[in-house]
Amino acid sequence: MPSARLLRRRRLLRQSRRLREWRMIFRGLVDTEHPILAHIIPIRRCNLACKYCNEYDDFSKPVPLDTMFERVDKLAALGTTIVCISGGEPLLHPELDDIIRRIRKHGIIAGMITNGYLLTAERIERLNRAGLDHLQISIDNVMPDDVSKKSLKVLDKKLQLLAEYAEFHVNINSVVGGGIANPHDALAVGERAVALGFTSTVGIIHDGGGQLQPLGSEEREVYSRMKAMEKGSYARINFFQENIANGRPNDWRCRAGARYLYICENGLVHYCSQQRGYPATPLTDYTVADIRREFRTEKSCAPHCTVSCVHQVSYLDSWRAPQRPPDAVPAGGLVQIE
């Protein structure tokens, strides 16, 4: 059980985070020429090999620290308000804490997505000291199988350590679809997360191209029960997954490349993890003109997209700035508002 001191510390940090998040939303509403969220990859290598995942390898070296600092500084110069460290498995980067400190030095909200395998009490306390704001672990099943080793059985002790030591916000994401053998495992994962004092969310696993795979009746029922468990947050202010769960396309304006940036280990900006190669511009060369162009550019993959983080940041601008096909948007992105 967490100590009384840690509980007080968590409350204070939660209040500070919420204030910064509301500032982020306000700034996002009044200014469209900065990224809200960037995912940055410090290492592509992962210690697991989940069959549905196309975001890892088993050989890549960590990106040098000086290079990571340059990328974080560039994101700060673009006005980015959240930087989430992902992978691969970011805890494999030997200087991860320094990267987090660099993010926080700029006043940016610092998040991380990890499989949780490498967490220890000492490692969690180092993340506290580095200033991490948010951590997410995705748990795919109760017992490990051929699709995923990210199971509640294996990770429960890690969750207990987080409950006892973490000062930062922890979210446990469970999943349905994409070959998960038992949809009801998501409920067990969500209930355990809530019991430990974490928030719980549910996602729909995409196919290898990040596209929609409709849920079966049992999966839809589990999904609906999981959504009822989620606490109110900005991450819930969207309706995309309701359509995905029922096999319907979404009609929305994807702001990837503008409000959301995915920076790979090679330092290139992509629309998202599932659309690597577009626009594939070096982050060092990325400018406000690129942000304006991509803000106005229609993405053909959008109707069947399942990448929820892009949905969430794009929702902020759903009411404005209609998009055009790529060949109809001027280089600077300046077109008449309709």
Name residues whose C-beta falls within 8 Å of residue 38's C-beta, 6 or more positions apart in sequence: 75, 80, 82, 83, 84, 260, 261, 262, 263
pLDDT at res. 82: 97
Q: Which of 184, 316, 171, 185 lies closest to 230, judged by CA?
A: 171
Give a yes or no: residue 286 inside a domain. yes
- pLDDT, residue 240, reads 75
pTM above 0.85, yes or no: yes
The domain containing residue 130 runs over which residues?
Answer: 4-328
* Domain presence at residue 337: no
pLDDT digits (tens, 9 = 90+) for 77-118: 999 999 999 999 999 999 999 999 999 999 999 999 999 999
Among 119-133, 178-192, 193-207, 216-230, name the most confident range. Answer: 119-133
Least confident piece of the model among 23-27, 137-141, 163-167, 223-227? 223-227
- Do the domain assignments include residue 335? no
Alpha-carbon distance of 87 to 124, in angstroms, equals 18
Confidence grade of residue 336 (pLDDT, cut at 50, 70, 90): very low
Give the CATH number, domain containing residue 125. 3.20.20.70
pLDDT surpasses 90 at 134: yes
- Cα 102 to Cα 264: distance, rounded to the nearest angstrom: 18
Number of domains composing the chain? 1
Residue 127 is assigned to a structural domain of this protein: yes
CA 176, distance to chain mean position in Å, is 17
Considering the domain boundaries, does residue 45 fall inside one? yes
pLDDT at 333 over 70: no
Does the residue 334 lie in any domain? no
Mean predicted lDDT score pLDDT of the chain: 88
Residue 160 within a domain: yes
Residue 113 lies in a domain: yes
